[in-house]
A and B are shown apart, each in its own frame.
Chain A
Amino acid sequence: MTRTSLLSAVAALAALGASLAFAAPAPSPVTPELVDAANKDGKIVFYTAMDVEVAAMLGKAFEAKYPGIAAQVERSGAERIFQRVGQEYASNIHAVDAIDSSDVAHLLYWKQQGMLAAYRPDDVARWPHSARDADGFYAANRATLSVIGYNTKLITADEAPKSYADLLDPKWKGKIVKAHPGYSGNIMTATFELSRALGWDYFKKLGEQQIMQVQSSTEPPNKLALGERPVMFDGNEYNALIVKRRGAPVAVVYPSEGTPLVSGSAGVMKDAPHPNAARLFISFLFSREGQQLLVDNGQLRSFHPDIKEPADRVPLSRIKVLTADPAEQEKAIEEIKRKYAEYFGT
C-alpha cells in the first residue's frame, strides 16, 4: 500500500469515525489486577524511535518500578521501525508489544490496519485533543523541536546564525551538518514544515552549501558536540540539550522564522505477545512519572499538564513553533524525497 492510498483511507476513516466506529474507551487507571497480569507476562517489548539512551533509561525506570517485568527496548529510526513491523507482521511474527514512532502517520496506518489496541491511560484523558487519537488508539507521548544549533567553542553567540536565512551565508559553506528525511521521521516532518514556510527554493540554495549529510535526527547534535561541523541545520532539540547538559559546547537556536515541532506517538499492539505488560508500560510512559523522566533526562517536551519545566531551557510558550497537518504532510512525502535527492544528492 502506498502512502497516498494510506492517507485517503485514513482520511475516510477519520470522517467515518466521527459518526460511528469506535467509541472512545474510558480512561484506564493502573489497577492491582493489571499489575498482577503484567507480572505474569513477565516481559514487554517496546519498539521506539526515541533517543537510545532516553529509551534505555525509560526501560530501566519501568523495570525498577515493576521488578517482575523485563523491558526490552528496541531503538531504531522511525522509518526502519515502520519497515520492520511491516516485515514482521507480513511474516506473522508478533514480537512487539508497545510501539512509538516520531511519525504520527505510522500510528494512523497501524490503527487503520487493525494492528493497534484501543487503550487510554487515565493521564491521557487530560491531554490536549490535538495530541491524542479520538478513539484512544494512541497519543503523543513526547514532542521535540527541530532546532538550529552551533558549537560554542568554534562560534561565538554573536556570529551564530539566528535564522534559517542566515544559514545561506557563504561563510557557512562546508560547515553545516544535517539529517536526512528519508531515514528520519522527525526530519521528514520538519522538512515538510520548512518547505511550506520557506519554500523549496530555500532548500535548493541550501544544497549548494556542501552539507554534511547524516541519517538520524539524533546524529547532528552529536556531530556538533564532537566539533565535526560547527553548525547544525536540523536535529532534535532534546539531543542537543542532553549533550549540552553533559558539558558539550553546544548551544540551541530557535530560528526567527519559527521552529518545527515534531511529536511522537505511542500505542499498544493488538496482537501483543505480552498484552498486560504492554498496557502497564504505556500507562507508565504517559504517567507524570514517566513523562517527567522524559522531560528531565530526555529533555523532551510533554503534553502532561503536571510537568515541571526544567529551569535550563526555554519553555515552549516562548517559542514560535511550526506545526504540520499530518494528512497534508502525507501527500507531500514523495515530493520531499524527490526534491531532497535532487538538491542534496542522497
Chain B
Amino acid sequence: MTLAALPRRARLDLSIPVLLALALLLCALVLLPLGCLAWYGITDKNGALTLANFALLFSERTFISPFVTTLGIALGVALLSCLVATPLAWLVARTDMPFHRAVRLLVMASFVTPPFLGAIAWEILAAPNSGLLNQWYRALFGLDPYAHLFDIYTVEGLTFVMACYAFPYVFVLVANALERIPAELEDASSILGGGRWHTFRRVSLPIVLPSLLAGALIAFLQAMTQFGAPAILALPAGFHVITTKIWSLFQFPPQYNLAAAAALPLLVVSVLLLWGQSWLLQGRGYTVIAGKSGAPRRIPLGRWRWPALLLAFAIVALPVLLPYAALLKATLVRTVSEPLTLSALTLRNFRFVFLEFSATRLALTNTFILGIASATAGTALALVAAFLTARRLVPGARLLGFLATAPAAVPGIVLGVALFIAYTRPPFVLYGTLWILLIAFVTIELPAAYQQLQAALSGLHPELEEASRILGATRLRALRQITAPLLRSSVVATWCFIFIGAIRELSATILLTTADTKLVSVIIFDLNESAELGAISVLGIALLFITFVTVAIANRLPARGRAGTVP
C-alpha cells in the first residue's frame, strides 16, 4: 500500500534543536550586552555598587546640556521631517506628478546615504566661509569675504542635516499609508459631495495620521541616537550631543561606568518612543521599504504638475543631489573650494585613496564582507525568529518576539559601549575581530528585519507549510522550500535593509574597530580628522557605489516560479 518509505535521513529531524539554538543565540545577542551595560551603569571602577554615576550625570552641567541639546535637535528633526515628507509623500503616492518614480528613488538614495557622509558633504556646501553655497552667494551679490547665507556649524545646521537623512522614514510610512487607502473610502466621500481637498483633509489625512506620527517618532529616535552627523558637525559648532559626549568618555582616561550610565537614559527614552510607535501603528509594525502593491488612484494636478515636480526636486536636492554633486566635485580637485576649472582637475585623490592609502583595500573588503555577512546572518536570524513567534513553535515565543525587537531601543553608540564591555573580556574575547562587528550589526538591524518578516509571515497562510509537512518535509525543509521562497520579496527587502544599515553604521563601529577590522565608515571618520575631503569623497562615492550595485543585484536575483497568491 505504501508507495515508498520516507528516506531514512528525514527521520533525523534537527528542526527543534536548531530552532532552540537560534532562540538561545538571540537571547545571548540581546541580553548579554544589555546586562553588562546595566551593571556598569550602577557600579564604579572597582565594581562596587553605586549611584554616583547618575548623580554626576544629573548634576554636572557638561552632561545636562548635551541631553537638553539632543532633545531639542531631535524634536526639530522630527518636525522638519514631517513637514517635508508629508507633502512629498502625497505628491509621489497620490498625484499624477511626472517622474514620481524618480523622486521616490531619490528619497531612497537619501535613505541609503550614511548621515556622516551627508554631514561632510554639507560641510563642503555650507561651511560659513569655504562652503560652496556661501561662496556663490558672495560672488552673486558681491559681498565681503565673511558674509554668509548658511552656517552648517550650528545647532540649526546639524538639525537640518539630520533631518535630511531622517525624513525618508516618515516618507515611507506616510507614502505607504496613502497608497493603502482604498479608493472606495475616497469615493464614498466624493459621492456625498466632498470636494477633492475636503476629501483629502477629512478622509485621507486622518487615515494616515497614525503613520505620520509613528514616522515622526522614528525620526526623533534616529536623531536622538545618531552619532555620525553630530560627530562631524557638533565639535566645530562648539557643543556636544549625548552621543558625542558618550564617545568623549572613551578618551583617555576612559570612563566606561559613566559612559554606561549616560547611555541608560537614552535607552529609556527609546523604549518609550517605541512603545508610542507600536501603539500608533497598532501592531502593523514597520512597513517594508520596498513593498508596494497595486496602483493607487492618482489625483490630477492639472497645471500644477510641473511646479509640483520642481518642489519635489528641490526637496530631494537637499539630501541627495547637492551633496552628491559636492562630493563629486571634491573628488576631482585639490581643494574643494577651488573653482572647477580644467587646470584644477586632478586624479590625486583617487591615486591617494586607491594606491597610497594602505587602509583602503582592507576597509573596502571588510565593509563588503561585513555587509554581506550581516545581511545574510541577520535575515536568517530574523526569519527564524519571526517563524518561531508567528507559528508559536517554542514555549515563550512571545518573549522571543520581544527580545528580537528590544535592540530597537538600544541606540548604536549604547550598543557599542555594551558590546565593548561584553566582548573585551573572557569568556568572549571578540574585540579585534570582525565577529564583534557582525554581532553589532546583526543586533542593531534585527528589530526592523524581524518586524518586516514577521508582518510578511503573518500574511502567509500556515497551511502552505503544513501541506509540505504532511507530505514528508521537516520544519526546516518547509521553511527553506516553501516559506522562504514565498517570502522572497520581503526577504530580499530585509536583506537590503540590513546591508544598507551595516554600510551606514558608524556609532557602534567607531568603538569596536581595530586596525585589522577597519571599515570604510571609520576611515572616512579618521580622514575627516585630517580634513582630507578629497579622499573622503572618493571613499564615500565608492561606498555608495558598492551599496547601489549590491542592492540592485540583490533585487534582480532570478525569481523561482512566479509571485501570486491563491485565492
Direct contact between the two chains A and B in their complex (CB within 8 A): yes
The answer to whether A56 touches B356 (Cβ under 8 A) is: yes
Contact with A along B492-528 (1 / 0, CB 8 A): 0000000000000000000000111010000000110
Contact with B along A75-118 (1 / 0, CB 8 A): 11101001110011011110110000000000000000000000
Contact of B458 with A by CB under 8 A: no
Interfacial residues of chain B within 82-98, with CB under 8 A of chain A in the complex: none
The answer to whether B252 touches A341 (Cβ under 8 A) is: no
Stretch of A135-143, A224-232, A256-264, A321-329 at the chain-chain interface: A224-232
> Among A216, A246, A346, which residue has its beta carbon within 8 angstroms of that of B239?
A346
Distance in angstroms between the alpha carbons of A218 and B352 in the assembled complex: 17
The answer to whether A95 touches B432 (Cβ under 8 A) is: yes
Residues of chain A within 8 A (CB-CB) of B527 are 52
Interfacial residues of chain A within 47-77, with CB under 8 A of chain B in the complex: 47, 51-53, 56-57, 59-60, 71-77
Interface size class of B (residues with CB under 8 A): 35 or more
Stretch of B296-304, B333-341, B537-545 at the chain-chain interface: B333-341
> Among A2, A91, A341, which residue has its beta carbon within 8 angstroms of that of B431?
A91
> Among A82, A247, A346, which residue has its beta carbon within 8 angstroms of that of B334?
A247
Interface residues on chain A, number (Cβ under 8 Å): 60
Contact of B278 with A by CB under 8 A: no
Residues of chain B within 8 A (CB-CB) of A131 are none
Stretch of B123-131, B199-207, B476-484 at the chain-chain interface: B123-131
The answer to whether A79 touches B252 (Cβ under 8 A) is: yes
> Among B238, B248, B335, which residue has its beta carbon within 8 angstroms of that of A225?
B335
Interfacial residues of chain B within 120-166, with CB under 8 A of chain A in the complex: 127-131, 145-146, 153
Contact of B195 with A by CB under 8 A: no
> Among B334, B358, B424, which residue has its beta carbon within 8 angstroms of that of A73?
B358
Residues of chain B within 8 A (CB-CB) of A197 are none
Stretch of A24-32, A122-130, A206-214 at the chain-chain interface: A206-214
The answer to whether B529 touches A218 (Cβ under 8 A) is: yes
The answer to whether B238 touches A226 (Cβ under 8 A) is: no
Contact of B254 with A by CB under 8 A: yes
Distance in angstroms between the alpha carbons of A157 and B451 in the assembled complex: 63
The answer to whether B235 touches A213 (Cβ under 8 A) is: yes
- B90 CB → nearest A CB, Å: 39
Contact of B429 with A by CB under 8 A: yes
Contact of A344 with B by CB under 8 A: yes
Given the interface pairs A59-B358, A219-B529, the reply to whether A346 lies near B235 with Cβ below 8 Å is yes
Residues of chain B within 8 A (CB-CB) of A84 are 514-515
Contact of B58 with A by CB under 8 A: no
The answer to whether A93 touches B514 (Cβ under 8 A) is: yes
The answer to whether B429 touches A226 (Cβ under 8 A) is: no
Distance in angstroms between the alpha carbons of A77 and B62 in the assembled complex: 24
Residues of chain A within 8 A (CB-CB) of B420 are 87
- A260 CB → nearest B CB, Å: 20
Distance in angstroms between the alpha carbons of A159 and B298 in the assembled complex: 63
> Among B145, B236, B518, which residue has its beta carbon within 8 angstroms of that of A154?
B145
Given the interface pairs A53-B356, A57-B356, A83-B252, the reply to whether A228 lies near B127 with Cβ below 8 Å is yes
- B249 CB → nearest A CB, Å: 11
Contact of A180 with B by CB under 8 A: yes
The answer to whether A219 touches B235 (Cβ under 8 A) is: no
> Among B238, B251, B352, which residue has its beta carbon within 8 angstroms of that of A56?
B352
The answer to whether A223 touches B251 (Cβ under 8 A) is: no
The answer to whether A87 touches B424 (Cβ under 8 A) is: yes
Distance in angstroms between the alpha carbons of A284 and B532 in the assembled complex: 27
Instruction: Give A341's nearest chain B residue, CB to CB.
Output: B62
Contact with B along A195-221 (1 / 0, CB 8 A): 000000000000000011111101100
Contact of A190 with B by CB under 8 A: no
A52, A71, A247, most chain B CB atoms within 10 A: A52
Contact of B357 with A by CB under 8 A: yes
Contact of A287 with B by CB under 8 A: no
Distance in angstroms between the alpha carbons of A320 and B359 in the assembled complex: 38
- A273 CB → nearest B CB, Å: 11
> Among A93, A211, A228, which residue has its beta carbon within 8 angstroms of that of B238?
A211
The answer to whether B529 touches A77 (Cβ under 8 A) is: yes
Residues of chain A within 8 A (CB-CB) of B352 are 53, 56
Contact with B along A223-266 (1 / 0, CB 8 A): 10111111000000000000100111000000000000000000
Instruction: Give B522's nearest chain A residue, CB to CB.
Output: A76
Contact of A45 with B by CB under 8 A: yes
Residues of chain B within 8 A (CB-CB) of A154 are 145
The answer to whether A56 touches B128 (Cβ under 8 A) is: no
The answer to whether B516 touches A95 (Cβ under 8 A) is: yes
Instruction: Give A4's nearest chain B residue, CB to CB.
Output: B253
Distance in angstroms between the alpha carbons of A79 and B529 in the assembled complex: 13
Residues of chain B within 8 A (CB-CB) of A291 are none
- B314 CB → nearest A CB, Å: 26
> Among B127, B236, B357, which residue has its beta carbon within 8 angstroms of that of A226?
B127
The answer to whether A2 touches B130 (Cβ under 8 A) is: no
Distance in angstroms between the alpha carbons of A59 and B518 in the assembled complex: 18
The answer to whether A227 touches B250 (Cβ under 8 A) is: no
Distance in angstroms between the alpha carbons of A88 and B424 in the assembled complex: 9
- A90 CB → nearest B CB, Å: 6
Residues of chain A within 8 A (CB-CB) of B239 are 345-346
Instruction: Give A247's nearest chain B residue, CB to CB.
Output: B334
Residues of chain A within 8 A (CB-CB) of B240 are 346
Contact of A191 with B by CB under 8 A: no
The answer to whether A3 touches B253 (Cβ under 8 A) is: yes
Distance in angstroms between the alpha carbons of A90 and B424 in the assembled complex: 8
Contact with B along A26-49 (1 / 0, CB 8 A): 000000000000000000010100
> Among A53, A91, A96, A214, which residue has its beta carbon within 8 angstroms of that of B424?
A91
- A123 CB → nearest B CB, Å: 24
- A80 CB → nearest B CB, Å: 8
Contact of A182 with B by CB under 8 A: yes
Instruction: Give B234's nearest chain A residue, CB to CB.
Output: A346
**Pairs A-B, 5 closest by C-beta atoms:** A222-B531, A226-B130, A228-B130, A93-B432, A216-B529
Provide 17 A-B residue pairs closer than 8 Å at the C-beta atoms, listed in order of the A residue.
A3-B252, A52-B530, A57-B356, A75-B526, A91-B424, A93-B514, A180-B235, A182-B248, A212-B153, A212-B236, A215-B235, A216-B529, A223-B531, A226-B127, A226-B337, A243-B335, A248-B334
Q: Other than the known A212-B236, A230-B145, what 4 A-B pairs have Cβ atoms closer than 8 Å?
A: A222-B532, A226-B337, A226-B531, A230-B129
